[in-house]
Structure 1
Amino acid sequence: MIKNKYIRNGILMLAGSLLSVSFYAFIAVKGDVVPFNLERVARVTGKSISGETFPNPNRTNELYDVGGTDLGIAWRMGNGKVGFFFGDTYGNDFKVVNEGGPGKAGNWRSNVLGLSNDKTLADGLTFESMVAHQIVPSPHITDGTGSHTTIPTAAIHAAGADYVHYMDVRKWGSTGSWTTNYSGLYKSLDNGQNWVKCNQVSFGALSNFAQVTYAKKEGFVYMVGTVPGRWGSAHLARFKESDILKQDAYEYWNNAKGWVKNDEKSADAIIEAPLGELSLAYNKKFKRWIITYLNEKKAEIVLRSAQNITGPWSSEKTLVKSTEYPGLYGAFMHPANENTDEFYFLMSMWKPYNVFLMKAKLKFAD
């Protein structure tokens, strides 16, 4: 759960219930990737509510005691399946409340995991199972003096294991702001069933990599990160897949010096603020890097593209507007996007406090 998502300009945003299709026009440079024909395909988590006409194949409230949750960070696992890490999760007693969010629901878990082998997303995303117990632990100290919760920010398969990057949240603050204790990694060697902490990697509470997104290309894992919250700039690092647990081998992008090894503070901004809930991928069809994120100031999920990971990045292209999907956040790309102009992603909404599968089309700007 990421707090304070549901107020926009002092107005409480109510969740839409019917599938909508949109086309957005952009001011774009030729060669930029632009999205169009947005639609909501299906519900991914929770119980269908009155008025919804789209599918709900997982019924997670009934099958896994997952009534309310958010995020849905997707990555291709070592066994070829796709994993989905969710954030603060609540049980089957979850009910949609006026102010949005989890309300007083029980069985609070900081994170859970969905597993899928579904290759046909046009009719929705189906899980074959969930690891529905809390994976990255937290004592849930809610007075701001300890670990309030542990929220996944990214996941990747590298060097024979699956990894999740998470932030240990100390305190939720004002809109789009929160404080962390540190950020770190857990790994699984058995396709997500069991996870252990990786003490070799840790990022400080004010690190530009407190929240990250991962993508692989040509033997490297690229990591784009921000400070805690949704108001920071994006910074870039990389490491060889085999070096994921060797933090002193990480390289950071500096605009003047290029790649600088083992000097986190040398990382310059590659995209200026504000960015929240990042998702990064390389699209082979367009031969472009794609990044999506929430622009809290605009209350929009936006998309940028670039030929080179170091930039220059295109201007923001609106992917989803909060005027059509109130209380939106997160835009975690599905790995099925990597070689096509079909663009699937998981989007959270604060009012229903659940996750939905979205789809758009991509094209080059004329």
Structure 2
Amino acid sequence: MSFVKSLNPLAQFDIGGTDLGIPFRMPNGQIGFVLGDTFAGTQPQVGGPNWRSPMLLRSNTHDVTTPITFASAARNAKQLWDYVHDNPEYSTILPCDAISIGARIYLWVMVTQGLGNEKWCEIRYSDDLGESWTDTGVKWSTSVYGGKRTMVTWEKGGDGFVYVISTGGLARNKNAILHRVPEAQIASPSAWVPWGWNGTWGWGNPPGDDPTRGILPDRTKLGEICLRRIQGNLVFSGFDAGAYNAFVKVAAKPTDNWHTAKTYRPVKGSFFGPGGPDVVDRLYGCYIHPDSRFDRPGGFAMIVSQWAADGNPYRAMQYRISGITPVTPVTTTLSGEMTPAVTTLTDHPTAEGTTAMAFPFVPVAGGNNIISSGFRTPGRPDHNGIDFAAPQGEPIYAVEDGVVVRSGPASGFGNWIVLDHQATLHVDTVYGHMRAADLLVSQGMFVRAGQQIARVGNEGDSTGPHLHFEVWTSPGRFGGAAIDPKPLLVGSANPPTGTIDPAAGTFYGVDISNHQGNFDIAATKREGFSFIAAKCTEGDFFKDSFWPRNRDLMQQHFPGMFCGYHFARNGDPITAQVTNLKAHLGDPNIPVMLDYEDPNTPGSGANLRQLVDAINAAGMRVCAIYLPRWYWQGHMGSPPLNDLPPLWNSHYVTASGFASVIYPGKGFAGWKDYTPGAPVEILQFSDKGRVAGKLVDVNAYEGTLDELRTPFGGAPGKLSVDDCVLDFWLQLLGPGGAGWPQLNNRSVVDALAEIGMHHGVPGMTPPPAGAAAASLPATTADRARDVFDQIRGPDGTGWNQLGNRSLVDAIAAIGHQLGVPGY
């Protein structure tokens, strides 16, 4: 072990004395350091003005064999949220650990009234790299499990879970326990599942209230703790208060036997005693830096704290540690040296912790992933992305599954594409400088990771062919913050050879009802979902009051890929149920999903078929039957299901979160055929999928888009007349009738009027000021009339703002004014 430096004082941040310095990887690839009680001044001492806790510093130092430096401080070096220290309820708020999940940082803190008197704990989160913080609203008790859930440390497992090790508070006299929690539910106490002993070790077993027992040897007394994944190994470190030294343990997985794992003690402590090369007087803290490495001498960095004696010194310090060995082969290797102007992706020093958010693919393939200009370099501080030098016409690929938000002209770029990946990584990506003819996707399309979306160009503010690539945090390009893309591309693969078919694979859908209220259907489409069902009626009595609203929004955002569902009540007369459904459905051409699972009255094969036949005979169409296997077996006697509409099963996973993350795959038991010739076509695999900010039923379809269209929209690959008319209406008037963003929120007519005025076309006048968004007509006939009026003008007489011209004549007049030959 060797001392590298004291991290404080830091005059540029008005920091004299501070402690902890908990290092974690931030969403943008920087290393964040969370500080505890911090005071101003030029000396590392306790007390003094400008008391702050917690604080967050940001560092670009990734080589931990060198001294750590700091690039910036969150909130201009203020504490992360405002409160008064030594108030009547508590004295200070102390951080324990931070973790990045997607673009969000979560921070666990203890609210204390003096040292050793922890009142409660909280989780707060930030979506803007620490500039603002939101309280999740839960006060976590410090007395559960014998007080062993007070100080925590956490790390992602790469399997959708966060693994949490916790111990007691600042009395530093308790053992440790283990929990796991789905990433999407990290702030929900009920989702934390303990690891405990009940004859055998297992999840869900209580960890016990004895403060002396836990996952470490009995009577271990812990202070601050830290869990980090380093090159494929889990490294657990911290302050062993009973032995009064730092400890490090290494395991392959969080449930390995930490009792017997080898213990390294790289830093020893003394209590008001002499120091030494490996001795720190009044030691605590002991956090492992996430960029530590097994395969480099002195490649581990530990941040330790020293408590003040008579007020001085009070500081956090960087130490280099050697001799820590992995238990599984390391998974990260680095190559090359950073160069000032041109780097490759593999040159960026990034450890294992970033892989959970890494993009599957680089945006340009092979030898073209050479960065010719970096993110916000000193010479280009406003450069919000990185540039890939590549030949004109080289393919550009989507780095992750997503939805096309923009595809077309953009200031500075010539043309751009913006992809929304909020459903998976909570980011948007931007691709710039392509020719218009080389944009291969359009707004609203769903694209697959590795799918070609464009070709490299030299348009806009460009000095040579290249791809400009950006990454923006939630909520995305419009409202989020630009972050350095490079850390998210380390280890990303070249796109696969051949063509990625965006119309084949797994497609996700949701089903909703009045229980979800005013559910955001537009956001559901933006998040990449392909189909949707909404409740219409139940039995012969219930009409879902949200159905008319949901129906209109589904028609707008999911044309040809939606249905209404009827919940069958087996004790109600079939004729009365069909009458109720038809009256509320509104348009008999809307496909109907029959939800057959009445828990109060047993069903039968005969009753099911009679209901299907009656709905079809009434001029409607049953597109699918939602029939859970448990109901078919336990309440119907497993009748044959041949010659019926496609089956929609439900079989839930235990996890919750984003559909693409928790979906168990094609081998899941829920896909098993009911009987020969009765396969499951759609699977509802969770009722806790996170969609548009809510937890709802999520479903999967395996196949092609053409095959998926069959139950919802008719013949594969074909759109109905209704769908075509709706699309014409939306193209002319914009999403929701509110115009197109790329046309300055104008309809096509109003946009042409503005263009004509700009170029001096006679007769063209400003569009009406303050016009409200157009309302989507309820019927196809009314929409078709709107389309006619938009093209020809009201009643075919042209538009006032176009000089009483139709759309065709207005385009001709503008072309003539611009001197286009033949106009």
Partner of 2:316: 355
Which letter does structure 2 place at the counterpart of 1:227? G
Aligned-residue sequence identity (percent) comes to 26
Distance 1:170 1:288, change over 3 A: same
How is 1:270-281 mapped onto 2 (pairs within 5 angstroms)?
270-271=215-216, 272=218, 273-281=220-228
* Secondary structure, counterpart of 1:242 in structure 2: helix
Which of 8, 18, 25 is the equivalent residue of 1:69?
Answer: 18
- Select which of 110, 121, 141 maps to 1:167: 110
| Alignment coverage as a number of residue pairs | 299
Give the Cα–Cα distance (whole angstroms) in 1 for the partners of residues 322 and 50 of structure 2: 38
1:260 to 187, 195, 204: 204
Does the residue aligned with 2:267 lie in a helix, a strand or coil?
A: strand
Cα distance between partner residues in 2 of 1:137 and 1:260 = 38
Which secondary structure does the structure 2 equivalent of 1:63 belong to? helix
Match status 1:300 vs 2:238: no
Query: In 1, Cα distance between the equivalents of 2:202 and 2:251?
Result: 17
CA contact (8 A) 2:222 2:241 kept: yes
Relative to its length, the structure with more helix (as a share) is 2
Matched, 1:282 2:226: no
Equivalent residue, structure 1, for 2:176: 234
Indicate if the aligned counterparts of 1:137 and 1:150 stay in contact, CA closer than 8 A.
no
Residue 221 (str. 1) matches residue 165 (str. 2): no
Separation in 2 of the partners of 1:309 and 1:127?
31
CA-to-aligned-CA distance 1:82-112 (integer Å, 9 cap, x gap): 111000000015x45xxxx50x411111221
Q: CA deviation at 1:337?
A: 1.7
User: Given the superposition, is the C-alpha separation of residues 135 and 289 from structure 1 closer, same or farther in structure 2, using an over 3 Å criterion?
Assistant: same
Aligned-residue RMSD, C-alpha: 2.5
The CA deviation at 1:298 is 2.4
d(CA) in 2 for partners of 1:254, 1:344 = 31
- For 1:250 and 1:197, locate their aligned partners in 2 and report how far apart those are by CA, in whole Å: 18
Aligned AA (2:152): V
Q: What is the TM-score of this pair, normalised by structure 1?
A: 0.75
SS at match of 2:190: helix
Q: How far apart, CA to CA, are the structure 1 residues paired with 2:192 and 2:182?
A: 8
Q: Please, which of 57, 81, 87 is the counterpart of residue 30 of structure 2?
A: 81
Residues in 1 aligned to 2:25 and 2:191: alpha-carbon distance in whole angstroms: 24
Q: Helix, strand or coil for the counterpart of 1:248? A: helix
| Deviation of the 1:138 alpha carbon | 4.2
Q: Which structure's residues are more often strand, by fraction? A: 1
Aligned to 1:180, which of 97, 103, 118?
A: 118
Q: Report which stretch shifted further, 337-346 or 186-195.
A: 337-346
Q: Deviations over 1:21-59 (max 9, x none)?
A: xxxxxxxxxxxxxxxxx111122121xxxxxxxxxxxxx
Listed one character per residue, the Cα deviations across residues 243-294 of structure 1 (whole Å, up to 9, x for unaligned) are 1122211111012261118x7868971114211110112233xx54221111
Residues 40-189 of structure 1 mapped to structure 2, 5 A cutoff: 40-46=3-9, 60=10, 62-92=11-41, 95=43, 102=46, 104-131=47-74, 132-141=77-86, 146-172=89-115, 178-189=116-127
Task: Structure 2: give runs of 5+ residues left out of the alignment.
Answer: 270-274, 328-823
The 8 Å contact of residues 92 and 113 in structure 2, kept in 1 or not, is answered as yes
The one of 263, 286, 295 aligned to 1:331: 286
Range with greater deviation from structure 2 (301-310 or 66-75)? 301-310
Deviations 1:285-322 (A, max 9, x none): xx542211112232211112233322312253211012
Three-state SS of the structure 1 residue aligned to 2:286 is strand
**Aligned twin of 1:319:** 266
Aligned to 1:28: none
**2:367 maps to which residue?**
none
Distance 1:253 1:266 in 2: 13
Alpha-carbon distance between aligned partners in 2 of 1:141 and 1:264, rounded to the nearest angstrom: 34
User: How much has 1:198 moved relative to structure 2?
Assistant: 1.3
1:316-360 residue CA offsets vs partner (Å, 9 max, x unmatched): 321101242212211111110266451112111123111111111
Contact 1:155/1:165 (<8 A) preserved: yes
Q: Does the CA-based 8 Å contact 1:110-1:137 persist in structure 2?
A: no
For 1:128 and 1:223, how far apart are their aligned partners in 2? Answer: 29
Deviation at 1:166, TM superposition (A): 0.3
1:209-258 CA-to-partner distances (Å, cap 9, x unmatched) read 21101111122211100121211100101112111122211111012261
Q: Which amino acid aligns with 1:120?
A: D
Query: What is the alpha-carbon distance in structure 1 between the residues aligned to residue 324 and residue 113 of structure 2?
Result: 41
Greater Cα radius of gyration, structure 1 or 2: 2
CA–CA distance in structure 2, aligned partners of residues 243 and 223 of structure 1: 13
Say if 1:204 and 1:329 are closer, same or farther in 2 by CA, change over 3 A.
closer
CA distance in structure 1 between the partners assigned to 2:256 and 2:177 by the alignment? 11
C-alpha deviations, 1:148-175, integer Å up to 9, x for none?
A: 1100000001143101100001222xxx
For residues 90 and 45 of structure 1, what CA distance do their matches in structure 2 show? 11
- Identify if the C-alpha distance between structure 1 residues 311 and 347 changes in structure 2 by more than 3 Å, giving closer, same or farther: same
**What secondary structure is seen at the aligned counterpart in 1 of 2:119?**
strand
> Among 129, 134, 156, which residue is 1:191 paired with?
129
Q: Residues 306 and 121 of structure 1: is their aligned pair in 2 closer, same or farther, counting only changes over 3 Å?
A: closer
Q: Distance in 2 between matches of 1:364 and 1:63?
A: 38
Contact 1:150–1:168 under 8 Å retained in 2: yes
Q: Answer with 126-135 or 338-347: which moved more.
A: 338-347
Give the partner amino acid of 1:350.
W
Secondary structure at 1:146's aligned position in 2?
A: coil
Q: What is the match of residue 149 of structure 2?
A: 209
8 Å contact kept, 1:45–1:68: yes
The residue type paired with residue 191 of structure 1 is L
CA contact (8 A) 1:283 1:340 kept: no
Structure 1 stretch displaced more, 107-116 or 315-324: 315-324
CA distance in 1 between counterparts of 2:23 and 2:281 reads 23
How far the C-alpha of 1:140 sits from its partner, in A, is 2.1
Q: Contact 2:229 / 2:290 at 8 angstroms: preserved in 1? A: no
RCO higher in structure (CA 8 A, sep ≥6): 1
TM-score, normalization by structure 2: 0.35
Q: Secondary structure at the match of 1:232?
A: coil
Question: Is 1:39 equivalent to 2:2 in the alignment?
Answer: yes
